[in-house]
Amino acid sequence: MGLLFGGGLALWLFWVLGTCIGIYFGNAISDPRRFGLDMIMGCFLLAMVVSGEKNLRILAIWVVAGFASLLAYWYLPENSHVVAGALAGGVAGTFYRGVADADLLVNWGAI
Rounded CA-CA distance 38/98 in Å is 35
Residue range 73-103, pLDDT digits in tens: 999 998 899 899 999 999 999 988 765 544 4
Q: Report pLDDT digits (tens) over 41-61.
A: 778 878 888 888 888 888 899
Q: What SS3 class is residue 34?
A: helix
- pTM value? 0.58
Q: Which residues contact 60 (CB under 8 A, 6 or more apart)?
A: 92, 96, 98
Domain boundaries defined on the chain: 1-30, 34-111
Residue 106 pLDDT exceeds 60: no
